[in-house]
Chain A
């Protein structure tokens, strides 16, 4: 058999695709524009790529797809609101076949996108300025003023310094079934996706280096640098190095990954509303060192939520007084507050006329055909054939109605609303896109897909201070494409694609590793660390250590369960272990609980109760269960996403899988194994933190959190084992030694004889043992004394005094007093006193640190509470409601 020539390789990949295209398959797509093929043959601009793909072959492509998938997973690339809900967790698949645009086509498309940005910028300026387009009847007032993105408070003073500017602009585009470009909508507040587009390019370039290295495609690097320059030049004349922050709604937000990614890439502090405060007209970040003035805010919070004083009063995400600060030019916000009105779905119907009026040009890129129901003729047509239309409510962004998919009642309500408030609705026909090729790693073939594309444009950095009419826009030569029904949301898609814009000649591959770009990194972990980040790192340490202690203790408890005689009851260690784990039953309820258990030949009721309670910890979501502790751990880790290294983040992703697997562990042995994995992965995480985080304030808070938790956990365990246990003695001491991972050390030092005072020496006094109380005090003292101090008092602060107090109690104790614990009541009392003297200051230390260093932001409160009817004016989108809830949940979680 003759080997196929290089240009024939791709035929195997294309088999089915080509058959359908030539009408030999199902013919529903006959006549639909095909991106890849024309008359059954590949289009010229696909030739090169097809050959590359064909040379690689289906097997290699499948393997590389998986590799790309792993890279995405490890980097935690996701875009979904269910991050903390393991059942809903998913991430994208990245198609290794990109969307390809030829050089000629791009020139036309680019011109259209630039024109659209210029048009929208002028429209924005007019809407918040003279409002000529309204007064002259080009835009009906009821269309503009009912949109939640039109901010009356941003429109008040025509001469104000900060007129809303359109700096960044995202445009969703499809190619329709006839091959024409159509614009579906715009993103004008904080277009998301630039980060994903770059991350996708980086990932694919790593997975398919050969295909990418010499490809004649335009490179994306440079676009984000220009974005940085835009932002920096916004605050012209203020400071040489403006302080730029990225404002995010927080880890509960679906775009949080990208916010953290961008903040890292561009070296901006990632802040939440709580981190910012307006004082003396200035916007500042609350940091460990005090207030740090902010010059520019790159905001990723939607308009109505940014300022509870002038915008939505119920917002917990915003910053009171922000709009006033922007109005006075004390801070620059990109995009400016108020730009959301450009996302208005009904604008599509008016843009051609607006383009002639504002630009004197015909619109280059047509919009998807859209009818505004506020027009009586439109409404009449639409009402006649309502089930053919896709209806949008302009006050509920993203919400789409189709009468045939609504219940009877909802359909009736929609008909009523259309009559009563027609100006709040738009109608569109359904869409068909062109056919795009995509590689399916399961069938190992190239298949036919429907794809939506998002492009990004921004003001030329040098033009930012020009008159709006003179500003030019640049378009990123690439973007983000996703597979799904035409017009479906990016966040709902499961497959994303890179977009290739072909260049005339091969372009050198520029490394886009994030370290290589951006201005020189000045460490951000100094005193300018936001208080909230310090606090989250502290709690990350505490929850991580708590997970560790509880996992170890549970592992040892399960081991004891295996060793115990299952027919015995209260004479065993089990009640003590349940106490240590916090799952001991209330003595009053115990008889009832036991009666409810059906005993059998092999197991006593007491044994079954203990076993069920302990195994329950593997799946309980409450404060005691390991999944519950892990959720708190991961929530804090996400809040400091931009302060953890990539490897640490991979460790967390592994840990997530381990913890998800816990509840599936059936039986004692499987439980033990699963817990062991958790312990090892946690050690990997903390090890990576120690090795990769700069040993600055952020790391210190993490470490302090860990060691306070470990101290308290160890002290409680010692107290139980040596003093309060029902069944004290060697078996319980063994548990203590194993839990603290000191069994081997002990045996080497003391042979096999277990003796309380030897345990005490090892766990309390031996400062060379990292698990001993003495060592932990030393470490805490070192860390706490290096925290930033406020004021210049020459006296020791409370935190240092507490550590000295506890350390002294330990050093001054008379060891001889503690001897003979088993027989001497005096010795037991002395130990009890000692442990209490150690526990109390450590519990107080946590509060003292919190008091001195963390911001104590109470949710801002309204002077006048207005019960504005919900759903009106500025509706709560489900998404933001969730974010607000998660935000408040995290506050409560501490």
Chain B
């Protein structure tokens, strides 16, 4: 599939800002199943500097600074991305979840580099601490000797079934235990929760930030997470790699999911960060449009960007 993505972020300040330094992680990264055909920034006011680099996790980061006096900052990223199906998820060798823990724990002795590298994602991170309550919540899915993939999919489904999507109740910084208690949240919360569960058991999991196609297939319900950035989870399966899971929708991401980047949690892949001087209070507007170019519903029409 080829998607055209337009991601607009605008901050309206109550007062003039004189200087702002920003860092964005809004450019799709290259993956075996994902190719970024083009991407461009349009920033108002025009930044003095715009520099791209690759961060520790391999994500594309753009730094820019704005130095003229401004009362709003608008960042529009337009990209075109081709996605294909993820690597076949059904033919990998099975591994029991306890064996997986042993594999990662013994990675230093076995010298398995992928498993060593995965250990970073077992650790606590700014938003996700090790909590026994999370391990207890996951227990039901992780029965003795159960295949790791089955257990992960069970947990994915369980969060989808038991939690209510509710954009009103959370901000980006909701503590994971609050989400567990209220059983409500948005995709970030569910991703953090699920990562917390997996890590609490002693397994690596990382946070994936990206988009998903917003138009529902005929006859299907519209998926949640449309019109905004989306977030899901990838869990490490020793000897195979990272399996993506989307607890917000209870499914495994497929070619309709476009990956921006990943990290330990939201803090590592915040789409737009900034520090400014002045500005006062600010109001945030985010618009995301993901349009399939060769989808029969939209092909041939002008792309209906924006609102």
Q: Chain A: residues with CB nearer than 8 A to chain B?
A: 134-137, 140-142, 145-146, 152-153, 155-157, 160, 277-281, 308-310, 313, 320-321, 324, 327-328, 420-421, 423, 857-858, 860-869, 872-873
Contacts and interface: CB of A to CB of B under 8 A. Distances in A.
A324 B124 contact: no
A331 to B, nearest CB: 14
Interface in B66-121: 67, 107-109, 111, 113, 116-117, 119-120
Interface string B1-25: 0000000000100000001111100
28 contacts: A135-B113, A135-B116, A135-B117, A140-B119, A141-B117, A141-B119, A141-B120, A152-B56, A153-B56, A279-B67, A310-B23, A320-B21, A324-B21, A324-B63, A328-B51, A421-B124, A858-B277, A860-B275, A863-B20, A866-B126, A866-B172, A866-B267, A868-B126, A868-B127, A869-B126, A869-B127, A869-B129, A872-B129
A300 to B, nearest CB: 22
A285 to B, nearest CB: 15
B54 A157 contact: yes
Contacts of A310: 23
B279 interface: yes
Given A863-B11, A864-B273, 18 more contacts: A134-B117, A141-B116, A142-B119, A142-B122, A155-B56, A156-B54, A277-B19, A281-B65, A308-B275, A320-B275, A321-B275, A421-B130, A857-B277, A862-B273, A863-B20, A863-B272, A863-B276, A872-B129
Nearest to A277: B19
A868 B21 CA distance: 21
B144 interface: no
Given A135-B113, A860-B276, A156 B55 contact: yes
Contact of A863 (B63, B273, B278): B273
Nearest to A423: B123
Contact of A309 (B126, B175, B268, B274): B274
B35 interface: no
A interface, over-half SS: loop
B61 to A, nearest CB: 7
B270 A137 contact: no
A135 B67 CA distance: 42
A420 B126 contact: no
A309 B19 contact: no
B73 to A, nearest CB: 8
A145 B54 contact: no
A137 B111 contact: yes
Contact of A862 (B56, B116, B125, B275): B275
A324 to B, nearest CB: 5
B282 interface: yes
A142 B202 CA distance: 13
A440 B271 CA distance: 62
B48 A280 contact: yes
Contacts of B23: 309-310
* Closest 7 pairs between A and B when the two form their complex, measured CB to CB: A863-B274, A320-B275, A867-B173, A321-B21, A156-B55, A868-B126, A152-B56
Contact of A137 (B48, B108, B272): B108
Given A156-B54, A310-B23, A866-B172, A861 B276 contact: yes
Given A863-B276, A864-B273, A152 B172 contact: no
B175 to A, nearest CB: 7
B205 to A, nearest CB: 15
A208 to B, nearest CB: 52
B49 interface: yes
- Among A134, A327, A857, the one with the most B-chain Cβ atoms within 10 Å of its Cβ is A134
A156 B51 CA distance: 14
Interface residues of B, number: 50
B interface, over-half SS: mixed
Contacts of B11: 863
Contacts of B126: 866, 868-869, 872-873
A145 B118 CA distance: 12
A420 B117 CA distance: 21
A140 B22 CA distance: 33
Contacts of A146: 123-124
B307 interface: no
Given A142-B122, A421-B130, A156 B175 contact: no
A596 to B, nearest CB: 46
A872 B22 contact: no
Interface string B265-303: 001101011111111001000000000000000000000
A148 to B, nearest CB: 12
A607 B117 CA distance: 79
B173 A866 contact: yes
Contacts of B21: 278, 309, 320-321, 324
A160 B61 CA distance: 14
A807 B2 CA distance: 76
A864 B267 CA distance: 10
Nearest to B132: A420
A369 B217 CA distance: 64
A864 B272 contact: yes
Nearest to B22: A863
Nearest to B109: A137
A863 B66 CA distance: 13
A277 to B, nearest CB: 7
Contact of B65 (A135, A321, A867): A321
Contact of B278 (A140, A280, A858, A866): A858
A262 to B, nearest CB: 29
A152 B55 CA distance: 8
B51 to A, nearest CB: 7
A205 to B, nearest CB: 48
A821 to B, nearest CB: 49
Contacts of A869: 126-127, 129, 175
A310 B20 CA distance: 13
B22 A142 contact: no
B117 A864 contact: no
A332 to B, nearest CB: 18
Nearest to B276: A861
Contacts of A280: 48-49, 65, 67
B124 A278 contact: no
Contacts of B111: 136-137
- Among A135, A136, A861, A866, the one with the most B-chain Cβ atoms within 10 Å of its Cβ is A861
A458 B120 CA distance: 33
Contacts of A320: 21, 275
B55 A153 contact: yes
A324 B51 CA distance: 9
A100 B294 CA distance: 81
Nearest to A321: B21
A279 B19 contact: yes
A863 B275 contact: yes
Interface string B42-58: 00000011010111110
Contacts of A152: 55-57, 268
B172 A864 contact: yes
A160 B52 CA distance: 12
B123 A145 contact: yes
B249 to A, nearest CB: 25
Interface string B208-220: 0000000000000
A140 B268 contact: no
